[in-house]
Structure 1
Amino acid sequence: MPDPRARLLAEHRQRIAHDGTGIPPRWDNLSDQEQRLLLGEAEEWLRAAVEAGLTPLADRPTDKHMAVYVDDEGFLYGEYPTVPPSDSLLRLVWASEMAVSKQESEYEGVEFRLIGWSQ
């Protein structure tokens, strides 16, 4: 099954390609061939981004993994497991008493990925 983010990526890439040239054609007005071409490229770039660690897999790797989200204001949220299951999220907050050195952590082999910006 194709990554559901590929169409969004393809639509934005198509819009960016027409920046400064007027109003870009709507996605629905593109031919099937144009859509397939853009989707194919988007799927390849998305796969490359996942393999490079720039973006996570679209699907949960295991039942033990919980998703982490960043909202449009830069706040972080983690899935909060409940019984019965729900769509609960827990806002993650900074805990200064738990601060660690990024440089020392990287020296010890930790790899960090930028996922967004917080205000």
Structure 2
Amino acid sequence: MDQDPQAGQLAVDPDAERIADALRSSPHIATTTAGPGDTVLFTTTGGTAYRIRLNSTSPLTDAPMTEPIPTEAVAAAILNHPAFVVALPDEDVPVLPRLPEPLPESLPVQGITVQSREGFFYHLTLELDLTQAATARREPPAPAADTIHARAEQLAVAYWNRTRTGQAAWIRLKPEIRAELTEKAGTWLQAAEQAGLVPPATAPSSEHAAVLLDDQGTVWAQVSTSDQGDDLVLPLVYAREEAVHRHDLEDQGHRLTHIGWTR
């Protein structure tokens, strides 16, 4: 945790803020506040207040996991629906999809106990479908209109979560209200594109490639291939001997868009 020199108190931990963002999207959480320090405060829709404290602990695996355990991901998605109040994965869940070789005669089965708000209980069983895994292919890129709408909705959700005070979570808003906020967010996105504050949602031509910036400050260029789609990326490196003045580029008609911070 960091000390905030201006406020004279502990600054909000980045992971605490991310957890608060996740809670704000839950239909079961009424209000959420991050910080100061490693704490998150939230109130349920039933009116009960809680405090979360982030404490360091030992890793679950020898190497950091790069993707969630499937049952936990499914359980989290189920609880993000207002019709369910319980989604509890079985204990001692194996980490998939890393499978032993040779494959065992019976693949490991994982389960989730679910209860609906109406009081119905279910036990969901998850097992790998190897026939699907062998032939799975990534879905084709979304049409431009869908991409633009998705960005507008993402902005609208972030704005609502940041500005609402004790109001309903985004998922519990009436569809017409969500549509109105998404339309307004789309207008702001178009204005931001015209001002050069954000990159366009779609490529200007088939010869253009997307430039991606990860959370470590590394810049990547997307590479499209016939068999891999847009799954390949190449790291972009500095060529300091080719550095030029930014103003010279702008004088030549180049328009530069700030996409993030690199190191």
What TM-score, normalized by structure 1, do the two folds share?
0.82
What's the CA shift string for 1:57-89, capped at 9, x where partnerless?
Answer: 222232111111111222110012445444110
Show the counterpart of 2:115.
none
Q: Which 4+ stretches in 1 moved above 4 angstroms?
A: none
Which residue of 252, 258, 261 maps to 1:108? Answer: 252
Q: Please tell me whether the aligned partners of residues 199 and 259 of structure 2 are also in contact (alpha carbons under 8 angstroms).
A: no
Show the counterpart of 1:34.
177
Question: Hey, what's the Cα distance between the residues in 2 that align with 1:58 and 1:102?
Answer: 24
Residue 209 of structure 2 aligns with an amino acid whose one-letter code is: M
Residue 31 of structure 1, CA deviation: 1.3
- Do residues 5 (structure 1) and 151 (structure 2) align? yes
Question: Hey, what's the Cα distance between the residues in 2 that align with 1:37 and 1:81?
Answer: 35
Show the counterpart of 1:65.
208
Structure 2: stretches of 5+ with no match in the other structure? 1-144
1:10-25 superposed matches below 5 A: 10-18=156-164, 21=165, 25=168
1:40-119 superposed matches below 5 A: 40-82=183-225, 84-86=227-229, 87-119=231-263
Change (3 A) 1:61 1:107: closer
Question: Hey, what's the Cα distance between the residues in 1 that align with 2:226 and 2:183?
Answer: 40
Question: Hey, what's the Cα distance between the residues in 1 that align with 2:191 and 2:179?
Answer: 18
Change (3 A) 1:61 1:111: closer
What TM-score, normalized by structure 2, do the two folds share?
0.40
What SS does structure 1 have at the residue aligned with 2:241? helix
Report 1 or 2 for greater relative contact order, CA contacts < 8 Å, sequence distance ≥ 6: 1
Question: Hey, what's the Cα distance between the residues in 1 that align with 2:178 and 2:208?
Answer: 33
Paired residue total: 116
Question: Hey, what's the Cα distance between the residues in 2 that align with 1:94 and 1:109?
Answer: 22
Question: Hey, what's the Cα distance between the residues in 2 that align with 1:111 and 1:31?
Answer: 40
What SS does structure 1 have at the residue aligned with 2:198? coil
Residue 13 of structure 1, CA deviation: 0.8
Mark the structure with the bigger radius of gyration.
Answer: 2
